[in-house]
Amino acid sequence: MENGHAPVQPTANTYAIMLLAWLRFNPDSASPTQTAAAEGHDPISLLRSIISRQVSPALVVADRAFTTNEEATQAIKALSRAAVQMGLSSVVNELGLADSLGRQVDDPLENVPEAIPVMKPSKRREDGTVSELATENPPPLPEGDVPFNLDTLRRHLGQVVLARRVLSEDVVLRQRLLEQSVYNVAVERMKRQAELFDQLGLPNKSLHSTDLRTWMWHWHQKLQARIEAEIQNLEVEERIIARLKRKPKDGMLLTPFLRLLKPEKLSLITILELMHLHGSGGVQDGMKTARALLSVGRAVESEYKAEMCKKNNISVPTSTPARAGDQNIFTNLGYRDLHARRVAARKYMEDAEEWTTEWTQLVRVKVGSFLVDCLMDVATVQRSIKDDRTGEILTEEQPAFFHSYEYQRGHRLGVIKLNPAVAERMSKDPIAETLHPRHLPMLVKPKPWLSYNNGGYLYNRTWAMRFKESREQELYLRHASDAGRLELVFAGLDVLGSTPWKINKNVFDVVLQVWNSGERFCKIPPAVPDEPEPERPPNMEFDNKARAIYLERQKAWQQAKASNHSDRCSINYKVEIARAFLGDTIYLPHNVDFRGRAYPIPPHLSHIGDDLSRGLLLFGEAKPLGERGLRWLKIHLANLYGYDKASFDERVEFVHEHLEDIYDSAERPLEGRRWWTKADDPWQCLATCIELRNALESPEPEAYECALPVHQDGTCNGLQHYAALGGDAVGAAQVNLAAADRPSDVYTYVAKMVEKSIEEDLARGHEFAKLLSGKVSRKVVKQTVMTTVYGVTFVGARDQIERQLKDRGDIPPEQCWLAASYLAKKVLESIGDLFKGAKEIQTWLNTCARLIAKSIPQDRLVQSLTEKHISRGRRSSQPRWKKEQMTSVIWTTPLGLPIVQPYRAAKRKQVMTALQTVFISDPNVPSTVNSQKQASAFPPNFIHSLDATHMMLTALECRARGITFASVHDSYWTHPSSIDQMNAIIRDTFIALHSSDVLGALAQEFRERYADYKVPLAAMRGLGMKKLTNELSRLNVCPDDIKLLQESEAQAEDEEAKDEDGVVDLTEDDDADFDEDAEKPKKKRPANDDIEGRLASTFVNLVDILPPLPQKGVFDVKAIKESQYFFS
């Protein structure tokens, strides 16, 4: 019948019989039978025939040939596996629906209502166009359109749910389905929408033409044909060029890259990428041309590599290289064993891969230009307008995109703009992002990290580090990976990614009920903004002050309204994802930022998210509480409620006193007294109330199986590292490194100091002292105190405090800015000498970074001074060596991770395209460093690399002892019963880290890495010459040159002091219209050129002028073992 030899055609019954025969007699069955016919009729072959003959797979599995439920279930699973391997997600959906009609197993989503999606308010006119809904009394829940990105999410997650019904046991196949290309999902969406309008047969096509997804479908149909034709023309041109033996334009052939994907896929990528970039880069109703071309090129590259991975059916090692029970990974022998295992696994993977090398920026731009140019030629929209005089409807076909230029900061910028009709629809149907597999948790353990760009998701390429177009970072990481120096970092990421999670059903039910009610509740914004619009003052026209206040409040109201919608969409993502994964065990693959800090790759729902995200998550496995676990569960509840500055015994007593409230919260979270809603972290508090109530109500509370994560948080962890580095006894006592009966709270200490200072101003009748008296809480000053040792400026501190004052709600918004200026000055003054040791280390780090950023390798310096200068136009007045200042601050963490600060002056490259000449920032082109940013960012980046190292060491040691572990930077999570063990590990790893002379090792690395680097004497102005004078004298630098630099330094300090005085005086000024961004008059520097000219040929060795390490204090880091509140 298949070959057409029989007079009849195969039916659903025919395929059902063949499938049943294969199930009963295939080689792996109980009664294997080897026949020639059976070999050609496996499930994949049968499914291919079923689809080619347009037979419904659901009819096949529902056929009477299957006499038992077991046989029908086996048939559904066999065809579902075949569909996943063939990339047919629609078939999996159909089989999932068929299974749901006849299944008898429990469904985790049974009786769970759907989440009401966020709606964009709209109403339709008679002609079908859409306008904003404007009513004085809005309904409790708006009616309208689901935003495109949320609708896509709901449909994609619907596939997850259907796949679980037919592949409940095969999570690897479900993960593969989950990672199916986003473009396959998008094309089905657009095609279905277009078919729907065609079926309606609307006589008035204006409704048809104003639907965004329908437009996109018609563009797609025209664009794929255009791409195929243009590629064929390009191939002819390239063959002629090759026959004439001429060099192709830009030295590259384009068709080999364009033929990597089918025209259909190229078309979809181009359309979706351009729509995603709408409104980006500060361009209204459009996007920057250079960014658009690069994004399209990069998306084509990524999709090709994902297809290669799926095509080759790359199998994934199931065991992670870091195994539980590995006690010796920190020894030389253990490390070599870990490295050998990982190299073997990587070799196994690479043998099955066909990855091409990384594309260059030029290739990406050229590919993007070709595709975008094609789209702009074929994409059109139909616009209609009614003639007011005749009543006639006039229709015109217009381009959907057009090229233009805009001016930004005095520079002409090429932009791609959207037709106003498209832009209007985009404002109502925003495509923030089409869901990518990287945005969802995994159903299986992530692929172990085998190299710097191989790990995490099974079929989508992911990098171990998040580097932002920094070629230098990638090269250092690749070199360290190839040399086998990153084994502990990879093992740490494997530990974090292999921690199993599940959705907390009890909390989710409450969240879903609150969400569907549309009311404002516990950090969930309302469906309809409930803040009243500011009233327009009657004297606004002639009272400038009243007008200014009204406009300020109106602006704040508009921002709050937009923020409400944005927050609501964000929570909608979390709720939809949590609902889709109810009943599943999920995993969160991790990678690190350039400082080594680990982050889950899925951004929407993970434990690093907000309170709601954390409240929705439990560990995937439960462990008995035990006596100590029950105690830690109570302490954890007190911490979440905000009662975290008392002793542990007092926190336990706090919980005992509120047991009635805890039971009421757990049993009647919405109908009762709602005690849990007053907590600092209400959703996590609710989860803990439920868990504690269940434990206490169980027959044996200490035997209760608990899956709730309990946290141990560092006390201002950055300051803890500074105090340990400097041996600062005073700082150590403030951040709980030293043993004490009660926990210290440095934020409250500073807040009280500020309040005392305000009281003194209040006695003198100061205006802002009256406004702020009694309102300076711990929360107001916390962020500023925390970031002081990271080098926060006055402006930064003022912005932080302004946000906190606005959140309080009891200070007029128009006065928050000036009040924050006054308060920031007080906070910075009050800190004073409190962190003296930390300040000294910060100054040392800052000075080292400044010198390094100004240095030049000796070979480059010699070359720049001896090579002939080729003049191109106007001659530059800058010395030649200034162009050679390209040295980044680079250091290696104790785990072997190289850290490269990416701060450089942007250097753009000109590329000719069909649209325009674009300038792209090519990471492969050398450029000078931003020395100021290198210096100011080094102290915080170095401390962050230390806390990341401490976390990784703790994760590895917990895995070695069989302890479940998760972390949010300096907050470490485990089961309640494991807290005591983890606490001991936290202290041991911290002591081990800081017993290794971290700063001494850093100084030694600088001396070795920058051994032959030179610093121009002229570049040392502003680097603290007073401290370097003795060093320069010892290096036999001319006394006259030293004196010249000292005078220059003194002049710079005087000007800086004047600037600071100007900023401080502003806090007393009533002028709220001060513009920080206004251009300041340039300082006169008559002597600078003279100084530079006299010192142009004088250079000193960098290692000779690096400042000495600050003297270490008397605090012994081993004392941390006795501090019970170090992490608590």
Active-site residues: which are they?
A: 713, 782, 970
Spatial contact of 979 and 632, defined as CB atoms under 8 Å apart: yes
Closest CA to 853 of 938, 763, 947: 938
In the chain the first and final C-alpha atoms are separated, in Å, by 73
What would the DSSP string read from start to end of 182-232? HHHHHHHHHHHHHHHHHHHT-S-THHHHT-HHHHHHHHHHHHHHHHHHHHH
Distance between CA atoms of 375 and 745, rounded to whole angstroms? 60
Closest CA to 733 of 221, 211, 201, 1126: 1126
Element (H, E) at 1101: strand 1099-1101
Cross-strand bridge partners of residue 515 = none
Distance between CA atoms of 614 and 639, rounded to whole angstroms? 15
Q: Both tokens of residue 729?
A: 């006894």
Cross-strand bridge partners of residue 447 = 456
Q: What's at 186, amino acid-wise?
A: A
What would the DSSP string read from start to end of 767-781? HHHHHHTT---HHHH
**How much helix, strand and coil, in percent to the nearest 5, is found in the chain?**
55, 10, 35
With the C-alpha atoms ordered 123, 125, 131, 134, is the resulting torsion angle positive or negative?
Answer: negative
Question: What ranges make up the beta strands (E) of 487-640?
Answer: 501-503, 590-593, 598-600, 617-619, 623-624
Closest CA to 429 of 198, 140, 574, 213: 213
Q: What are phi and psi of 1080, to 5 degrees?
A: -85, 145
Q: Both tokens of residue 675?
A: 């005690």
Closest CA to 297 of 354, 248, 362, 249: 362
Q: Is 224 left (phi over 0), alpha (psi -120 to 50) or beta?
A: alpha
Distance between CA atoms of 425 and 215, rounded to whole angstroms? 11
Spatial contact of 493 and 955, defined as CB atoms under 8 Å apart: no
Spatial contact of 748 and 778, defined as CB atoms under 8 Å apart: yes
Structure-derived torsion over alpha carbons of residues 711, 714, 717, 722, reported in degrees to the nearest 10: -150
* 742: DSSP letter: S
Half-sphere exposure (Cβ direction) of 31: Cα atoms closer than 13 Å: 6
Closest CA to 942 of 970, 975, 974, 901: 901
Distance between CA atoms of 421 and 425, rounded to whole angstroms? 6
Closest CA to 778 of 716, 714, 712, 821: 716
Closest CA to 159 of 102, 55, 88, 61: 88
Distance between CA atoms of 392 and 679, rounded to whole angstroms? 63
Distance between CA atoms of 185 and 180, rounded to whole angstroms? 8
Cross-strand bridge partners of residue 599 = 591
Closest CA to 890 of 949, 846, 849, 951: 849
Spatial contact of 22 and 42, defined as CB atoms under 8 Å apart: yes
Spatial contact of 355 and 393, defined as CB atoms under 8 Å apart: no
Distance between CA atoms of 632 and 1128, rounded to whole angstroms? 10
Distance between CA atoms of 301 and 359, rounded to whole angstroms? 7
